[in-house]
Amino acid sequence: MRSTRATAAVERLKERSGNDGYAMVRNADESFYLVDHSGAAPVKLCERMALDEFVAFVKAYGPQTPRRQTKSDIAFEKQLIKK
């Protein structure tokens, strides 16, 4: 099933936002769109998109988690700034 990436992206969005009302709709022509069911009536959040476009949209939608950095990552970035 090709929609596994899209499903995983929607699940990550639910975790990031705390809203379990987000859902993915898959059409017969293999296009996807995002719906919010948290209100009284479902709200369509985007137009139909291909799989890759949909996954990119869902990743960018909603609150973002900060990138984890190790001490060595921070030190490396400081060295890049110095040069």
In the block, residue with structure tokens 């017969």: 28
pLDDT at 52: 93
DSSP strands (E only) in the chain: 22-26, 32-36, 43-44
pLDDT at 83: 65
Residue 6 near residue 24 (C-beta atoms within 8 A): yes
Distance between CA atoms of residues 14 and 24, nearest Å: 11
User: How do residues 26-69 score in pLDDT, each as one tens digit?
Assistant: 999 999 999 999 888 999 999 999 999 999 999 999 888 888 88
Distance between CA atoms of residues 66 and 54, nearest Å: 22
